[in-house]
Structures are given as C-alpha cells and as structure tokens.
Amino acid sequence: MDQEESQTSPTPAEYLTIREAARLIGVADRTVYGYIQSGRLSFVLPGQGMRIPATDVARFRRLPVGRTRLRSPRWRKPSAQNREHVVTITGRIRAGQAEAFHEMVQAIFEGEYTFPGTAGRYVVANGDRVQIILVWRQATMPSREGRSASIATLISGTNDIIEWVQPYLESETLLHT
C-alpha cells in the first residue's frame, strides 16, 4: 500500500459504520442517514461503505424533539369530571440492595408490576431514598380495592429490597401544566 492510499483509507478507530454511529447517538440507522443528508454529520466513502468520523459522532448533539418552548406553559386546573389522583409510595433501599433495586426497576419496566389505568408512572431515587409516583385520571381509575391490590403486590414483592414507609400517600392534583 502506498502512502497516498494509506492517507485516504480511514482506520477503524477513526471512523464508524452507520450502525455504530446510530447506536452511540441513540437513534435508528435511517436517522443517521437523515443527519448526513441534512449536513449535520459528515461522511467518507473509503471503499468498504459509508463511514462517519468518530470525532463527529462524539461531538454530535441531538436536537430536542418537537418545538422548543419559549415560555413556561400556563397552569391548568383539572376538570371536576376528570381529576388526577396521585399515589406516592416512599421508602429506602435496604443496605446492600442497590443492585437488586436496579433489577427491581427493570422488572417494573418489563411489566412485572402493573398499575392498570395509570396515566403516569414514575420511579425516582435520590441516594437510598425511593419514591414511586402513580397518577390516575378519574375517568379511567380502577376501584380503590383494585389500586390497593396493585400497590400491595409491589410492596410485598419488593419488601426485601426497599424498606417502605407505611402508609403510602394518596392525594389529588390541584394544578398541573
């Protein structure tokens, strides 16, 4: 291989395939082609297919999805016919259970624990403190017994990982955006 050819043939560490770039950016392969077409990513054609400079991928920043808000949305009051009910379940991760906690979060994500009719579900953590926040709209909310059964299943199935604070807090949304 002569010197001119070696300067035009990228090394694997310097350039990425479309699939590698998509995985690192966190998008589909087709989206990377769109970024190339729009000029947001550069590319080379070294002979073995399209390649993207690794430095370009490392510096690449996705644009926010949708329209960027220029000002905060106004507060709204939920209608009397469809109020939001919020349940907050609070606890602490037991000593030595951090890995099991992350497995528990994955199990929730995969549907092991379900909360039928919820409009929003959040698992938040700060250090060893954990909150699970469940939001129901009045129009689709199951009975109190149904909600309690779903929550009891979660608490009993995770009690060895989380020291839950009893009782959990039920409240009603007054304002939202």
Domains observed in the chain: 3-59 (no CATH), 84-172 (3.30.70.100)
What pLDDT is recorded for position 4? 35
pTM above 0.85, yes or no: no
* CA–CA gap between residue 73 and residue 109 (Å, rounded): 29
For residue 140, what are its two tokens? 């689709």
What pLDDT is recorded for position 133? 96
What pLDDT is recorded for position 12? 59
Chain-centroid distance of CA 140 in Å reads 24
Low-confidence residues in the chain, pLDDT < 50: 1-8
**Torsion, Cα of 153, 155, 160, 161 (10° steps):** 110
What pLDDT is recorded for position 11? 55
